[in-house]
Structure 1
Amino acid sequence: MAELRGSSMLVTGGTGSFGKAFIRHVLDHFEPRRLVVFSRDELKQYEARQLFGDDPRLRWFIGDVRDRARLTRAMHGVEHVVHAAALKQVDTAEYNPFEYVQTNVTGSQNVVEAAIDCGVRKVIALSTDKASSPINLYGATKLVADKLFVSANHYASNQVTRFAVVRYGNVMGSRGSVVPFFLRLAAEGKSLPITDKRMTRFWITLDQAVQFVVDSFDLMQGGELYVPRIPSMRVADLAQAVAPGAPMHEIGVRPGEKLHEEMIAADDSHRTIRLPERYVVQPTIATWGYVPPPGGHSVPEGFSYRSDGNDQWLDADGIRSTIGTLLK
């Protein structure tokens, strides 16, 4: 984890759940020279400044990833970038598709070009399970963003900048997590709405997601799509972990929603290798000197990484033990 120590960093979408957790981790463990928080909501920036006590190592940039010039200004002198900014709500994307294209696609390309122009060393973009075999507009825009970041290494092959992607599913404890919603309903004595009792999801905590990104900075050469090897859980078990004995009712799968999460599609199995704690989806074409990481093993042909076919599972007790702080 020496890569980030003493570094100058920037986080787009830095006032979101991941951004704030990443900032806290970096301030506590890596003694950054400075950390630029880049986001477009001045209220959230004000609230975050109170959270971090106006730490002098932080720089607060109001800006939108749609604005390449503003990104370029913010990235001057920056060595490492985490691109966490995105529009994310599936149903909202279906009604406002071009807004998602402008932020998630054009905004991502702006991050790429600003990073190259400013000589940033390493950039990691946050992806989502919905970018694997996408069935909704949000997932499609994130798949395009993933492709842009991997291909950006071609543009920067004679530069210092390298790009990688980290993909994981729902984060327990993030803004919009279902846990507080279930807790509120249970406290009111109401039945918990379950999309489908067969539904499964991957399970990762916010702290684990931050650590995975930090570790990926150390490992990356550029062009990798990293996927953590994490357990699955059944949504019905989550409900029982949060509110034991509470009644449940099914409401049906919503438009654009999958019954099971997928983070690696079967069509990508030929370029996927397995490491002890992660999968690496390797670039199809690498002109910048990429070599496979040592110790990796090719996955079987046709392998897909889906929450219903996982080899690691959490039951209700296991879920409860990992979200203890959220239940208090």
Structure 2
Amino acid sequence: MLENSSILVTGGTGSFGNSFVPMTLNRYNPRKIIILSRDEMKQWEMAKKFQGDPRVRFFIGDVRDRDRLYRALDGVDYVVHAAATKIVPTAEYNPFECVKTNIHGAMNLIDACIDKGVKRVVALSTDKASSPINLYGATKLASDKLFVAGNSYSGEHGTSFSVVRYGNVMGSRGSVIPFFMSIRDTGVLPITDPRMTRFMISLEQGVELVWHAMQDMVGGEIYVKKIPSMRVPEIASVIAPEARQETVGIRPGEKLHEQMIGIEDAPFTYEYDEHYKILPSINDWNSSKERIKNGKPVAEDFVYSSDSNKEWMTPEALSAWIEANRSHIGAI
């Protein structure tokens, strides 16, 4: 599907884009990948990695700017929407800006993709969109709903929209692993709550989930990858076994455990070998055989949360992952 195609990635200079672009170039050899983002310095740094590759293009723009999106989407076949205001405390203190990017930006992109005849769009979501307690999660829940509903009015244009949702991305900029690694020499690691758990997914797994969604989607599905959990104090112990762990309290808007599927979504959720799929509650799409395929319905009280997860990452597995990825942890 992606071979010889034109792909646009919004927010493409972030952690996801820095993995998606080289992996997709190697796997599918698309005709063109366009990176749309508003930070020219990040584009400058990223462009160095692909110098001389005519398949990679860079486009300064913002999802808040509807007209710029229309220009960027000329001739584009597929879109991956990764642009977001996503730091929880930043969103709490700058709510208007978060809404402009995460909600208004989603609306702009949906309209532009339909009008420009884009074939398929996959939007990146977050565990925080499931039963949200912070503004970031609330805006991403709204964004998810917008992308799902976008399938209702794409009409004869035929643009399809779906969403992928995953939790803590291991080693990404701003996440807990590079943070702990950066301060381990102090001998003290701050733990917000010793009971805290997090899902653990690699950037490579995140990219593969987007590929799968792009191939499998009919429109309106939310894909949730099956991934292991880990307790935050265990993560700290792997990174700095000699350091003292100091409980500092949960930050504004922070959850004790990550949740990717809530009990309210259980009636519309189906299980597959490597992922779950939440189908839309609108338009009877949750009973669509074309969308369900070979999925099995989950239990009516099903919840997919990091504390009740069946799969757990061992300290040995995390240590091996850190050793294998040490050179670029926190760099992207």
> What is the TM-score with the length of structure 2 in the denominator?
0.95
The code of the aligned residue for 1:119 comes to: G
Match of 1:28 in 2: 26
Q: Distance in 2 between matches of 1:227 and 1:245?
A: 36
1:323 shift after superposition: 2.4
2:259 aligns to what?
Answer: 262
Structure 1 unaligned spans of 5+: none
- Figure out how many residues of one structure are paired with residues of the other and give that number: 325
Q: CA deviation at 1:316?
A: 1.2
Following superposition, the deviation at residue 324 of structure 1 comes to 2.0
- What are the superposed Cα offsets for residues 150-206 of structure 1, whole Å, 9 maximum, x if unpaired? 0000011332210000000110121112222222322x2421111111100001011
Cα RMSD between the aligned structures?
1.4
**Partner residue, 1:291:** 290
Aligned residue for 1:226?
223
**Distance across 2 between alignment mates of 1:150 and 1:179:** 33
Q: How far apart, in 2, do the equivalents of 1:66 and 1:290 lie? A: 36
2:302 is aligned to 303
What are the equivalent positions in structure 2 for 1:177-326 lying under 5 Å apart?
A: 177-186=175-184, 188-286=185-283, 291-326=290-325
Query: What amino acid is the match of 1:268?
Result: D
| Distance (Å, rounded) in 2 between the aligned partners of 1:72 and 1:286 | 29
Does the 8 Å CA contact 1:223/1:286 hold for their aligned counterparts? no
Q: Corresponding residue for 1:149? A: 147
**Distance in 1 separating the partners of 2:149 and 2:220:** 7
Contact 1:179 1:326 (8 Å CA) reproduced: no
TM-score (normalised: structure 1): 0.96
1:7 alignment partner in structure 2: 5
Q: Deviations over 1:35-67 (max 9, x none)?
A: 111000111111110122242111211000001
Q: What are the equivalent positions in structure 2 for 1:80-91 lying under 5 Å apart?
A: 80-91=78-89
Structure 1 position 270, deviation (Å):
0.4
Matched letter for residue 264 of structure 2: D
Distance in 2 (alpha carbons) for counterparts of 1:52 and 1:261? 35
Counterparts of 1:152-167 in structure 2 under 5 Å?
152-167=150-165
Deviation by residue 1:5-42 (Cα, 9 ceiling, x = unmatched): 22110000010010111011111111111111100011
Please give the alpha-carbon distance, in whole angstroms, between the structure 2 residues aligned to 1:104 and 1:32: 28
Structure 2: runs of 5+ lacking an equivalent: 328-332
Residue number in structure 2 paired with 1:172: 170
Could you tell me how far apart the structure 2 residues matched to 1:323 and 1:195 are?
22
How far apart, CA to CA, are the structure 1 residues paired with 2:221 and 2:317? Answer: 31
8 Å contact kept, 1:126–1:166 = yes
Shift of 1:287: 7.5
Amino acid in structure 2 at the alignment position of 1:294:
K
CA distance in 2, matches of 1:113, 1:228: 28
Question: What stretches of structure 1 move > 4 A for 4+ residues in a row?
Answer: 287-290
The 3 A distance-change label for structure 1 pair 293 and 91 is: same
Q: Is the 8 A contact 1:104 1:141 kept in 2?
A: yes
